[in-house]
Structure 1
Amino acid sequence: MAVHFFHTSDWHLGQLFYNYSRQFEHEQFLIWLIEQIKQKQPHALLISGDIYDVINPSSTAQKQLYQFLAEAHAVAPHMQTLMIAGNHDSGYRIEQIEPLLEKYNAKTVGLVRWRADRSLDMDRLILPIYNPQQQIVAWCIALPFLRNAEIIGFNEHTQDSQSAIEYLHETLIEEAKKRKTDDQALIIMSHAHMQGGQESDSERCIIGNQEALSTTLFDHGVDYVALGHLHKPQKVSQPFIRYSGSPIPLSFSEKNYKHQIVEVYIDPIHEQPEQRFQFSALHIPRTVAMHRLTGDLEQVMQQLKALPADKVITNIEQREYVDIEYHSNTAPPLNLRQQIEDILPSEQYRLVRLSRKRLALQLDDSSHSKIDLEPPTPTQLFSQIWQNMGYDSNSEVSSDFLTLLEEAQEKQRQNNTGQ
Structure 2
Amino acid sequence: MTVRFFHTSDWHLGQFFYNHSRDYEHEQFLNWLLEQIQQKQPHALLIAGDIFDVINPASKAQKQLYQFLADAHDRAPHMQTLMIAGNHDSGYRIEQVEPLLEKYQAKAVGVVHKNTQGQLDLDRLLVPIYNEQKNIVAWCLTLPFLRAAEITGINEQTTNSQNAIAYIHQQLIAEANARKQPDQALILMSHAHMQGGETSDSERPIIIGHEEALSTVLFDDVIDYVALGHLHKPQKVGHSHIRYSGSPIPLSFSEINYKHQVLEVSIDPHQEDESRFQIESLVIPRSVQLHRIKGTIAEVLTQLSALASGEIDNIDQREYVEIEYHTDTPPAPNLRQQFEEALAPNRYRLVRISRRYLNTESNDQQQTTIHLDPPTPEKLFQNLWEKQGYGQDEKVMTDFLSLVNEAQKSLEDDASV
What is the TM-score when the length of structure 1 is the normalising length? 0.84
1:186-205 superposed Cα distances (whole Å, 9 cap, x missing partner): 000000000000001333x6
Q: Does 1:233 align with 2:239?
A: no
- Which one-letter code corresponds to 1:48 in the other structure? A
Q: Figure out how many residues of one structure are paired with residues of the other and give that number.
A: 364
Separation in structure 1 between the aligned mates of residue 16 and residue 353 of structure 2, nearest angstrom: 18
Superposed CA deviations along residues 231-257 of structure 1, whole A, max 9, x for unmatched, are 000000000000000000000000100
> Residue 402 of structure 1 corresponds to which residue in structure 2?
none
CA contact (8 A) 2:263 2:280 kept: yes
Deviations 1:170-198 (A, max 9, x none): 00000000110011000000000000000
- Aligned partners of 2:100, 2:68: CA distance in 1, in Å? 13
Aligned to 1:88: 88
SS at match of 2:134: coil
SS at match of 1:72: helix
Structure-2 residue corresponding to 1:156: 156
Tell me whether 1:259 sits opposite 2:260 in the alignment.
Answer: yes
In the alignment, structure 1 segments of 5+ residues that lack a partner are 365-386, 390-419
Q: Structure 1 residues 388, 120: CA separation in 2 closer, same or farther (over 3 Å shift)? A: closer
- Output the CA distance in 1 between the equivalents of 2:72 and 2:139: 21
What is the deviation of 1:51?
A: 0.2
Whether the 8 Å CA contact 1:55–1:89 is kept in 2: the answer is: yes
CA contact (8 A) 2:356 2:367 kept: no
Q: Is the 8 A contact 2:87 2:206 kept in 1?
A: no
**What amino acid is aligned across from residue 122 of structure 2 in structure 1?**
M
8 Å CA contact retained: 1:329, 1:388: no
- Listed as ranges, the matches of 1:137-286 within 5 Å are 137-203=137-203, 206-207=205-206, 210-270=211-271, 273-286=273-286
The DSSP-based 3-state class of the residue aligned with 2:182 is coil
> What amino acid is the match of 1:222?
I
- Residue of structure 1 in register with 2:379 after alignment: none
Q: Tell me which residue corresponds to 2:415.
A: none
- 2:376 corresponding residue in structure 1: none
Between 1:324-333 and 1:7-16, the stretch displaced more is 324-333
Q: Deviations over 1:311-340 (max 9, x none)?
A: 221100000111101112322100111111
Shift of 1:117: 2.9
For structure 2, the residue ranges without an aligned partner over 5 or more in a row are 369-417
Secondary structure in 1 aligned to 2:169? helix
Q: How far is 1:52 from its partner?
A: 0.2
Give, in angstroms, the shift of residue 341 of structure 1: 1.1
The 1:179/1:360 distance shift into structure 2, 3 A limit, reads farther
Separation in 2, partners of 1:362, 1:202: 35
1:368 alignment counterpart: none
Equivalent-residue separation in structure 2 for 1:148 and 1:347 (angstroms): 48
- Give the percent of matched residue pairs that are identical in Structure 1 and Structure 2: 67
**Does residue 76 of the first structure (1) align with residue 52 of the second (2)?**
no
State the distance in 1 between where 2:328 and 2:128 align: 60
TM-score (norm. length: structure 2): 0.85
* Distance apart, 1:360 and its partner CA: 4.7
> Is this contact kept in 1: 2:148–2:161, CA < 8 A?
yes
Task: Give SS of 2:7's match.
Answer: strand
